[in-house]
Structure 1
């Protein structure tokens, strides 16, 4: 890797949309020098928005942005991944840069076919809370990735949340079903709670505030607790009380099976997308 000796590697972003801007913001907030970050995007408006939020160098040309890069982050839509990888292939080979893709459904094999057989590639499945530095990302790297390159990838994604490495690329489908699509599940559940609260007589504002704060508080309790979720649930479920009645209703309605079926559907679709893109 060209910049392997550097404690602060040069990071180039191909694509300057919301996720790229969020990662850049997280990197700078964590102490990564803005002078070691570049970004490219074909849309001037995207580059202008990025420049207003972060003092990084921006380009219209992908290869120019990646010219000195140790890490190239592909933050583009899956439909233009082929074009993006072709544009940086020569620079990646010259720099021995690690490529990190955050595009859903684009396999390492399909990227390697364009970047070259020796390319070090990490696939990442982030989720939208990364926009607020509260993301959860699954990572998988091919055998060409050195320990330092894996460390670089983890440092980049840790700037916007937690990271978890998986042992096989196929596991990213499960990551997609769990944390990638997961925020939408919680939004739906919160919507349902708000609707039910209104049906019970609360106005929309009160129902919304209470449902949102309850979800936040429950998450914080789970994150900070030294016991598992089942025990936490037991501690707030008094025998014969209101919570027990509600939980029993959920269980009798097959909530666990509903969640499992939905997540299997999401994982199957992720695998199907990979086959389509491949």
Structure 2
């Protein structure tokens, strides 16, 4: 929910002053005051768009004995995303009703959190509608209206006869988002079990490689990349002829060596 910025900032300032007056009585109030103060500082210094957001995960099972275990699994999965989950028991019916299409106005204010648009949008990347593609392999994207869709641009076109290969090319000007799209594609494919080898120019994928625990080899003047293009079997040695070819390669000689 996008409110007026000035109205939201005024409400947060009022909350900060109230917590300031109560911070002497409780350490929790002092911590909350610092959190509100950091929110205001970021909103003003970086021009953030404050929003009110609500996210919930609905789980169900036909066996009542499995309900507790299912709740624990959901809470554990959210905790791995650095999200602090809270199980709603009493107001579950009200939240279920409020999250139906066109019923959002019935969500109570105490079930909404103050955050910024960038952070709130991160959770929407986990939405998908498998009716958009019958393929179980693909990536999450959005259409021009911002609606999340599931898209397979590799396997399904091959099976349907729309294309004969999986090659892809992305064209765009500087800063248009080429590396961003490819990072998203590689991360999506990696999470679905794909083995990925990238020749990176400009360290565009160093962060992704570090995130997933991959191996990244980079050039450094003190430690340049070294490799031997010639196969040397056990017991064989790098003789003068091979050294000469490596220094001054001749196409005919290389073809003979192959």
Same fold by TM-score greater than 0.5: no
Q: When you count strand as a share of all residues, which structure comes out higher?
A: 1
Q: When you count helix as a share of all residues, which structure comes out higher?
A: 1
> Higher Cα Rg: structure 1 or 2?
2
Greater relative contact order (CA < 8 Å, ≥ 6 in sequence)? 1
